[in-house]
Structure 1
Amino acid sequence: MFVLDEYRNAVIARNSGVVVDSDEFTLNNSYRFSQAQNDAVLALHAMETAAESLGLGCVILGSILNDVPRLIELMKLPEYTYPVLGLAIGKPAQQPNLKPRLPRSVQFFDNAYNSDPELMLQRMSEFNEEVHQYYDLRDAAHPVPTYDAQIAQKAVDQGVLERGLGHARAQGFDIER
């Protein structure tokens, strides 16, 4: 489990005379939250790379965020901490087909972002079909919506933002700041 951690820094600051309940305290603001989250993701990626170099398989677990309060309770996370991602590491029992990845042409650019929507959609259409086939081959009895449909659904999910922000607030973060 990878956790963003400003608690340790708050303990150090408090020990050095900083009043952590004051408006001057910044370890709980949105910038620090974002930076600590980035640190956790970088640590996860480093561990994933190391594990894979040893021939181990890895699965990044974003699903841990489906029940943040329970995870906080189980891990006894103090204020100014927040779960970011999980990482399952093990010896692969099989060599399944790799999940398709976004085309490089929509991820990497030379000197400028290519924002032409028609070109982007054209390049994504083949990927959309690959992902759909990938999921259909895994379990045809439980069809999964196309990649495009999944993105469209997530784009209007009103609950996701408040759910995440509410949990962060409960951990002592002032995300609006």
Structure 2
Amino acid sequence: MNEVIRTMQAHRSYRSYLDKQVDESQLEHIIQCVQAAPSWINGQQVSIIAVKEPERKQKLAMLCGNQKYVEEAPVFLVFCLDFYRAYLASQMEGTPFEISNNIDTLLVGATDVGIALGTAVTASESFGLGTVAIGGIRRNLEEVIEELNLPPYVLPVAGLCIGHPAEDPGLKPRLPEEAVVHEEQYQQDLLPALENYNTTYRAYLEERSKGSRSGTWTEAVANFYSKQYYQGIEEALKKQQLPHSK
């Protein structure tokens, strides 16, 4: 096993950081790795807002749902799908710009953001830094857009805390491979694998919390998707002139 594989398989989410800054040269290498990652048509449909100012981190932590580690991490990166540069390219070349009516735009942008964020996680961990991805950046989208001064065609999709870990949260068990990887065609009989995983997941929660928490993976996921978690997504898409249903 090489060092890259070892690092990736040891991934965990860190929500507690030392009071120590991230070296600027390390951060620059992380950004360079993100820029080297693949993107659709080489359109490079991602922008990163690096937030280090304490007051702005504090405000973003509140907008993310009072997630204190956003404020406490030395660096908070906001990953945005970005078609503003494509818009400028269309202006420069005198061609129509039709992304607002093309729902595939959102798939392209979100995919590019996912690749970029995953790349940043691996690059950060190669330096011994800890990270945690923050979907809560979408909780109050319009306020985040205003705070970050985002132009049209740009939308925050995910955040990433980066810092020096204060404690090791341990590895969280993942779904069994047979529930994730399929040979040739999707194998739909997943209930036995999910039931087995529920047993593993419950044991992990109880051990990690010393008995104060319990529950299963299916309970957690089913509860999450039983309602619309974030409000205002459609309105933010409309404001940014991106595809929306209303």
Which TM-score tier does this pair reach, normalised by the shorter chain?
0.7 to 0.9
Q: Which residue does 1:14 correspond to in 2? A: 91
Q: Name the SS for the 1:99 alignment partner.
A: coil
Contact 1:79/1:172 (CA < 8 Å) preserved in 2? yes
Q: Which residue does 2:139 correspond to in 1? A: 66
Q: What letter matches 1:70 in structure 2?
A: E
CA distance in 2, matches of 1:141, 1:61: 27
Structure 1 runs not aligned, ≥5 long:
20-24
Q: Is the alpha carbon distance of 1:98 and 1:31 closer, same or farther for their aligned partners in structure 2, counting shifts above 3 Å?
A: same
Superposed CA RMSD: 2.4
Q: How does 1:153-172 map to 2 (within 5 A)?
A: 153-157=223-227, 159-160=228-229, 163-172=232-241
The alignment status of 1:175 with 2:238, answered yes or no, reads no
Q: Is the alpha carbon distance of 1:72 and 1:137 closer, same or farther for their aligned partners in structure 2, counting shifts above 3 Å?
A: farther
Q: How does 1:31-110 map to 2 (within 5 A)?
A: 31-110=104-183
Contact 2:130/2:162 (CA < 8 Å) preserved in 1? yes
CA distance in 1, matches of 2:233, 2:172: 27
Deviation readout 1:94-126 (Å, 9 max, x if unpaired): 22222221111101122121112xxx1211123
Deviation readout 1:44-68 (Å, 9 max, x if unpaired): 1111111112221111111211111
TM-score by length of 1: 0.81
Q: Which residue does 2:193 correspond to in 1? A: 123
Percent identity between the two aligned chains: 30
Q: Is the alpha carbon distance of 1:161 and 1:94 closer, same or farther for their aligned partners in structure 2, counting shifts above 3 Å?
A: closer
Q: Which residue does 2:99 correspond to in 1? A: 27
Contact 2:105/2:243 (CA < 8 Å) preserved in 1? no
Q: What letter matches 1:173 in structure 2?
A: L
Q: Is the alpha carbon distance of 1:62 and 1:15 closer, same or farther for their aligned partners in structure 2, counting shifts above 3 Å?
A: same
The alignment status of 1:3 with 2:3, answered yes or no, reads no
Q: Which residue does 1:152 correspond to in 2? A: 222
CA distance in 2, matches of 1:74, 1:141: 41
Contact 1:59/1:87 (CA < 8 Å) preserved in 2? yes
Offset of residue 137 of structure 1: 4.4
